[in-house]
């Protein structure tokens, strides 16, 4: 078995190069609208398909959402640092 290739996953070769299905994981805070997520996965899929020269059907995007109370930077929870609703469309930091 080739390194990095799992059974059942498509592989193609072109000019002695191997291509596998790209999987992108995006980690974001909870609360963004579905329309924003649709736009995100469409843009990522297009960019990856063009850059890696693979079919868009081969590109997988996983969105992992986190509550602000479960995410911290600089030693401080985002819920405390930024307040409720930070990062959602239409909110402004004050």
Query: Which residue has tokens 């307040």?
Result: 83
Please give the full DSSP string across 19-48, using - where no structure is assigned.
Answer: EE--EEEEEEETT--HHHHHHHHHHHHHHH
Catalytically active residues, by annotation: 22
* Of 34, 54, 35, 56, residue with least CA distance to 45: 56
**Structural contact between residues 34 and 88, judged by C-beta atoms closer than 8 angstroms:** no
Beta-bridge partners for 17: 14
């Amino acid at each position: 078995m080739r390194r990095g290739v799992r059974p059942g996953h498509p592989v193609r070769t072109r000019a002695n190069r191997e291509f596998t299905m790209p999987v992108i994981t995006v980690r974001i805070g909870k609360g963004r609208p579905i329309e924003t997520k649709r736009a995100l996965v469409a843009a990522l899929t297009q960019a990856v398909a063009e850059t890696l020269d693979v079919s868009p059907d081969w590109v997988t995007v996983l969105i992992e959402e986190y509550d602000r109370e479960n995410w911290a930077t600089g030693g401080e929870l985002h819920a405390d640092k930024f307040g409720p609703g930070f990062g959602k469309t239409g909110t402004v930091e004050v």
